[in-house]
Structure 1
Amino acid sequence: MACLFRLAVAAVVGLEAIASPYCVARADGDSALRDAARAATRQATRYYAETVASHGGYVYFYNADDLSQRWGEGAATVDMAFVQPPGTPTVGDAYLEAFAAAGEVEFLDAARATGQCLIDGQLQSGGWAQVIHFTPARRMGAYRTRAGGRMNNSSLDDGQSQAALQFLMRLDKALEFDDAAVHEAVAYGLDALLAAQFANGGFPQVWTGPAPAQPVLPASYPDYDWRTERRVKDYWNYYTLNDGVAGTVAETLIVAHEIYGEGRHLAALRKLGDFLVLAQMPAPQPAWCQQYNYQMHPMWARKFEPPAIAGHESQDAMRALLTIASYTGDERYVKPIPAALEYFRTQCMLPNGKLARFYELQTNRPLYMDGEYRLAYDAESAPSHYGWQQTPRLESLGRACDAVARGESLPRSPRRRVTAADVQRIIAALDDDGRWVSTYDGEGLVGQPKFARGFRYLSSQVFATNLTKLARFVAGD
């Protein structure tokens, strides 16, 4: 808390208590710190669940002074809840972590309210859109359980439906499967997700109903001028790997199988692995693309996302394959990875040590867009809103590949142990109202809000991260 900051106290156990229930007195070891962590989780949860929440849901950021302004991907209102992480499901997962650690009903009640928000936002097509609207809006969803609009596009973009489903499944388990509304929403959503899977195992970015029948083909290079031909408006209906779809869908199917034990979820996971094997491009570029048409040619998505080898999505595809191989024990899903790693290591590294987001088909030249969204080979004029280059994860992927090939289990969510010093810092940052207030200093933020330096705000990601760390410390993780 502020008292610790004013005295510039080091974040270690053994502090002198001063005028705050969270300033931990000279330590009785971890037990005193755990008591303080429990108290901090309660106060932070009460503030966020009772004061910040609206309709049980959350957005990304709030004006810390009075909550009068809020933001998700752009300005938001009190009658909007964001599904896309780090929004409503992210906060809900933190409540469940606190409940699992402490067993106190107030954390479960907060999670249940978050779950009801997501139930209210579930679409008739079974998934979720980026935003849930609670008053009439131009893009209001065709909601399953209440009156709404006509938008019925369930989305896998940026983990939207995946995050909602994973949280609701964990909530269903925490409620011992006794809440009929939660259980029904999960069943409806999982049925819809499985129906949206194509015969080849791929998924679209968006679905409104079951996937249409399409041939099962391996990936191949276009036999037409991809620069100018075959752009389509509804690219979201085709096979997609963009924005982490493979990894987040794989994790969703694994959570479903772990909680419900149904063979169909495992079968869908294997089918997804089969698709990733099919989607690897042939030589000379044995990697993956963002988007494929029904002939399994790389295709255009948005105007700045050309048919190309995709550095970011290829790494996600490899990680997803390793996750699937580790969970199923099927070595077929490891086999595509060594050639892809060798290709990126030897042919794709940029002078600055990064990977380009795109590499031109067959020539392998790093590919960008200029300010007019024309294809270019120079990153200097590329629009700043997009990640054109990324830090590679090739070494960690290589180590994981070796481990899985040896039959070792792959940790799905590696996490650093929460230390006493971590907990002291988190408790010290909690103000008297139970808030973690952030101050903007020019850093990049999700949704790219235009904050002035010095602006004080609340962040759902900061709340969820801190609450989760406190809960894990309380639980002894």
Structure 2
Amino acid sequence: MRCALLTKVTIMELRITTIYILLLVLMSSTDANVPSKYAKQSVEWFQSEEGRRIADNVLTWQTPHGGFPKSRDTASKPYKGKSEDLHATFDNGATIDELRFLARAYSATNEPRYKQGFLKGLSHILEAQYPTGGWPQFYPPSKSYHRHITFNDDVMARILGLLQDVSESSDYQFLKTENRAKVEAAVTKGIDCILRTQIKQNGKLTAWCAQHDEKTLEPAWGRSYEPPSISGAESVDVVRLLMSLEEPTPEIIAAIEGSVEWFRSVATNGIRQERFTNADGQDDKRIVTDPDAGPLWARFYELGSNRPIFLDRDSVFRYSLSEIGQERRTGYAYYGSWASRLLTDEYPRWRVKHKLTKE
């Protein structure tokens, strides 16, 4: 009786702890992009006492290397610890959002410290680019999977999106000609990296892995449940980035067309995900039949076969969401409608814009 009671108490404590951790994660992800909420404020706002206070707060979170940490509210309050204790990254929009914000702050106020903060961060990004054209998840890179060219969480797409804006937008007119030339060269090298990492199967261009080896450019492992594969999620923003280029070359057009064809070929129809409470009383996910459901894409597709694959932390390939454990089923996005808007709206408009012949 006592053992049963202790077991129930332990389970209850575990559930409370899990809920607490989930709340912290949600709070962190909400805070992570705080500067992006302010980046489009008016000139008057940036010149106001509140605008200057927030810009000054952001500067306190900049690391000695020039980047910013993720999952931290870098706007609401100043950082009061040691700057060397902060870990800069490009993951989850970190560094990119802060630099966009600082550029707007300087454009509105002409305050030198905001310009200096932006230039320090820009130098960090340019220094972090590999000779092969990609970026690691953070810099200096570790010896682990973080060192790989990172498409995961849209790192490559976000960095190149910022650099494109730096070379084109009026918000960055304060950049000297030599800095602008460096940025344009980095964009060219980055786009070339994207074209060279696009996975080809049976002579056809498909999409990208969530991470590629920084030297060989081959698909690479991320975490234990993120295998070399073709990503149905991260590849979407890579295509959007390529479609944003004003004068696409034949190679870029071919890359876009190939990926769109691949997205169409691997879409799954007639099913949807739903959350439910399983027999152990846990929040869970399952796939159910639904003829009215929109298309879904898997997070990972097996190289060669294009079969959706699902992994637990044991790194074993499985071919159904139900075959992995509840922890990974609910703790990771294995299915999503990621490519829907790309295929139904953005891609057709891109073709019209560039006067491409009808499909």
- Pairing 1:361–2:298 present: no
Is residue 358–residue 366 contact of structure 1 (8 Å, CA) maintained in 2? yes
Structure 1 residue 401 displacement after superposition: 3.6
In 2, distance between residues paired with 1:406 and 1:331?
A: 13
Q: Which amino acid aligns with 1:187?
A: L
- Pairing 1:124–2:124 present: no
Structure 1 residue 360 displacement after superposition: 0.6
Corresponding residue for residue 435 of structure 1? none
Q: Which amino acid aligns with 2:120?
A: Y
Q: Which amino acid aligns with 1:345?
A: R
Is residue 290–residue 310 contact of structure 1 (8 Å, CA) maintained in 2? yes
In 2, distance between residues paired with 1:279 and 1:182?
A: 36
- Structure-2-length-normalised TM-score: 0.72
Q: Which amino acid aligns with 1:154?
A: A
- Pairing 1:84–2:84 present: no
Is residue 279–residue 288 contact of structure 1 (8 Å, CA) maintained in 2? yes
In 1, distance between residues paired with 2:31 and 2:250?
A: 35
In 2, distance between residues paired with 1:195 and 1:322?
A: 26
Structure 1: 4+ residue segments shifted above 6 A: none
- Pairing 1:186–2:118 present: yes
In 2, distance between residues paired with 1:306 and 1:362?
A: 14
In 2, distance between residues paired with 1:200 and 1:148?
A: 34
Alignment RMSD, CA only?
2.9
**The residue matched to 1:336 in structure 2 has which SS?**
helix
Shift in alpha-carbon separation, 1:84–1:166, aligned structure 2, 3 A: same
Corresponding residue for residue 264 of structure 1? 182
**The residue matched to 2:55 in structure 1 has which SS?**
helix
Corresponding residue for residue 445 of structure 1? none
Shift in alpha-carbon separation, 1:84–1:75, aligned structure 2, 3 A: closer
**Alignment counterpart, residue 254 of structure 1, candidates 161, 164, 182:** 164
**Alignment counterpart, residue 25 of structure 2, candidates 46, 62, 73:** 73
**The residue matched to 2:262 in structure 1 has which SS?**
helix
Q: Please give the residue correspondences for 1:113-192 in structure 2 after superposition, counting only pairs within 5 Å.
A: 113-131=53-71, 148=82, 150-151=84-85, 153-175=87-109, 178-192=110-124
In 2, distance between residues paired with 1:348 and 1:370?
A: 23
**The residue matched to 2:99 in structure 1 has which SS?**
helix
Q: Which amino acid aligns with 1:277?
A: L
Higher relative contact order (CA 8 A, sep 6+): 1
Corresponding residue for residue 240 of structure 1? 150
Corresponding residue for residue 308 of structure 1? 229
**The residue matched to 2:226 in structure 1 has which SS?**
coil
Corresponding residue for residue 131 of structure 2? 199
Corresponding residue for residue 280 of structure 1? 198
Structure 1 residue 75 displacement after superposition: 6.5
Is residue 127–residue 155 contact of structure 1 (8 Å, CA) maintained in 2? yes
In 1, distance between residues paired with 2:63 and 2:313?
A: 37
**Alignment counterpart, residue 340 of structure 1, candidates 253, 259, 275:** 259
Q: Which amino acid aligns with 2:161?
A: E
In 2, distance between residues paired with 1:158 and 1:75?
A: 14
In 1, distance between residues paired with 2:151 and 2:322?
A: 26
**Alignment counterpart, residue 108 of structure 1, candidates 48, 62, 81:** 48
**The residue matched to 2:330 in structure 1 has which SS?**
coil
In 2, distance between residues paired with 1:278 and 1:384?
A: 34
CA deviation string 1:406-446 (max 9, x = no partner): 38xxxxxxxxxxxxxxxxxxxxxxxxxxxxxxxxxxxxxxx
Structure 1 residue 114 displacement after superposition: 1.5
Structure 1 residue 370 displacement after superposition: 4.2
In 2, distance between residues paired with 1:196 and 1:233?
A: 15
Q: Which amino acid aligns with 1:346?
A: S
Structure 1 residue 343 displacement after superposition: 1.8
Is residue 203–residue 238 contact of structure 1 (8 Å, CA) maintained in 2? yes
Is residue 291–residue 298 contact of structure 1 (8 Å, CA) maintained in 2? yes
Shift in alpha-carbon separation, 1:335–1:151, aligned structure 2, 3 A: farther
Q: Which amino acid aligns with 1:399?
A: P
- Pairing 1:389–2:321 present: no
Is residue 154–residue 207 contact of structure 1 (8 Å, CA) maintained in 2? yes
- Structure-1-length-normalised TM-score: 0.55
Shift in alpha-carbon separation, 1:301–1:291, aligned structure 2, 3 A: same
Structure 1: runs of 5 or more not aligned: 1-70, 135-142, 210-231, 408-477
Is residue 302–residue 309 contact of structure 2 (8 Å, CA) maintained in 1? yes
Is residue 82–residue 130 contact of structure 1 (8 Å, CA) maintained in 2? no
Q: Which amino acid aligns with 2:103?
A: M
Q: Which amino acid aligns with 1:300?
A: W
Higher helix share: 2
In 1, distance between residues paired with 2:103 and 2:83?
A: 26
Is residue 370–residue 381 contact of structure 1 (8 Å, CA) maintained in 2? no
Structure 1 residue 239 displacement after superposition: 0.5
In 1, distance between residues paired with 2:143 and 2:269?
A: 32
Identity of aligned pairs, percent? 24
Shift in alpha-carbon separation, 1:400–1:250, aligned structure 2, 3 A: farther
Q: Please give the residue correspondences for 1:398-413 in structure 2 after superposition, counting only pairs within 5 Å.
A: 398-406=347-355
